[in-house]
Amino acid sequence: MRLCFLILCFLSLSGAPLFAAAHSSFQGATSEATAPLHDIKVDGLTKLTQEQVIALTGLQIGSQVGRPELQAAANRLYTTGLFKDVKYEFSTNNNGVSLSYHVAESPRLPVLFDNIPWFGDSELNAAIRAKLPFYDGTLPEGGNVLSIATDAVRDLIDSHKLNVTVQLQIVPNPIGDGSVQEFTIEGPSLRIAKLEFSDPALADNRAVQQHLSEIIGKPFSRMYIDVFLSEHIRPIYTQQGYLRVKLGPAQIRLTGDPNLPLPTEIPVYIPIVPGPVYHFTGATWSGNNAMSSLTLDSFLGSRNGQVADEMALEGAWERIGEEYGRRGYLEAKISPDPSYDDSAHTISYKVQINEGRQYRMGGFVLTGISPTGEDKIRSTFPIAAGEIFDKIKYEDFLTKLENHSKEIFGDLPIHYDEVGHWLRTDAEKSTVDVLLDFK
């Protein structure tokens, strides 16, 4: 028996699909030499399984492989778009080739089906999963899996003899942070005939009925509907403590012959599950030096045990930020982190405050206004040089300028259409200069 001969080929694929050749040979033989593939191992996975990655390589255990086959398999992994980094190493022994992949998965974005009213999400997702078994409702930002997913959606639509064009693009998340991979179609123009809700109480809500005119008659778009629900329907529930309310997804509910084409105007149904009412159990503060926790608590408005009004709490975070601005902390950041107790139906917050430095009034630069007008502005500006810069007073003064207030100019004839305004901070001196440009 000959000794096992270890051959190590370490290949890194990242940033761009440029692939270096391995500078080693199988058991010292020619570059065309092959050996049976004995086993494959994969590490670095977060979402995919080892079996899924092996399937993506196209390699089969027991098949004859050489350097070209291993290189091609690594290339296939990288070009899927599912990996931002692919490295592999292999060794040969009497059993054949043992192959190991070291990978880093690419970030994935949620998938949104925007204006495809003929199919529900479950049917569209199933069509993609039939071609991409690892698909979980998310896709990477690039790579050939996007083409495969697009083809899957197109094949489903084509099977129903619908003459449309399918597109996939990255767009900002309409109701959250980050971005989404959005499927859209170009073809027949379908418009929203009416919007119905599973909660009958909304039918009598005057505010809802007033806002419906913003969406009725508009082109059917899940993204547009989701924004409408987020801005106009969700607050109705979260103000009453239904913090986990589930809105949608939008459904098309038609009666009649299902084989007939869709009408140009379609009814949209929105299922709503309010969930339980949550109660507020307080906030804990960190990073606050300029204001005590007791003072910060006074801005909340909600007391322990009360129904948690999400809108009121968001207003509280804004008021706290404004109060820091009033005290000269122009760069203060308020970061509330909610903690839900879904068994007790309560919510509390851990609020991190980054106060930054406190600024005082520095210089005053005015352009585009007459000397007399400049004198009026300087004499009425509410913050003197060296004083703590009160952002609230500053913003109130800007409002008066925009309204050409007589409190500033009296009877002086003054003409301008708009006022450009900037704050220029000096971190070393802890001062802020005010710059006003009249046009």
205 Cβ partners below 8 Å, 6+ apart?
236
Q: pLDDT of 119-139, one tens digit each?
A: 889 999 999 999 999 999 999
For 156, phi then psi, to 5°, come to -60, -45
Please state the rounded mean pLDDT for residues 280-301.
Answer: 94
Amino acid at residue number 44: G
* Structure confidence at residue 55 (pLDDT): 94
Question: Percent of the chain beyond pLDDT 70?
Answer: 91
Cα–Cα distance measured from residue 355 to residue 368, given in angstroms and rounded to the nearest whole number = 35
* Structure confidence at residue 12 (pLDDT): 52
190 Cβ partners below 8 Å, 6+ apart?
115, 117, 219, 220, 262, 264, 265, 266
Across the chain, what does the average pLDDT equal?
Answer: 89
Q: Which two tokens stand for residue 408?
A: 């500033």
Question: Percent of the chain beyond pLDDT 90?
Answer: 74
Indicate the range of 23-37, 51-65, 78-92, 328-342 predicted with least confidence.
23-37
Indicate the range of 53-67, 123-137, 242-256, 422-436 predicted with least confidence.
242-256
Cα–Cα distance measured from residue 114 to residue 27, given in angstroms and rounded to the nearest whole number = 55
Indicate the range of 63-67, 184-188, 363-367 predicted with least confidence.
184-188
For 438, phi then psi, to 5°, come to -95, 135
Please state the rounded mean pLDDT for residues 6-24.
Answer: 40
Please state the rounded mean pLDDT for residues 72-93.
Answer: 93
Strand-pairing partners, residue 307, are: 279
Indicate the range of 67-71, 174-178, 247-251 predicted with least confidence.
174-178
The full DSSP string for 335-380 is EEEEEEETTTTEEEEEEEEE-----EEEEEEEESS-HHHHHHHHHH
Give the pTM. Answer: 0.73
336 Cβ partners below 8 Å, 6+ apart?
283, 313, 317, 349, 350, 351
Q: pLDDT of 393-405, one tens digit each?
A: 999 999 999 999 8
Domains of the chain, start order = 11-105 (3.10.20.310), 109-273 (no CATH), 279-354 (3.10.20.310), 360-438 (3.10.20.310)
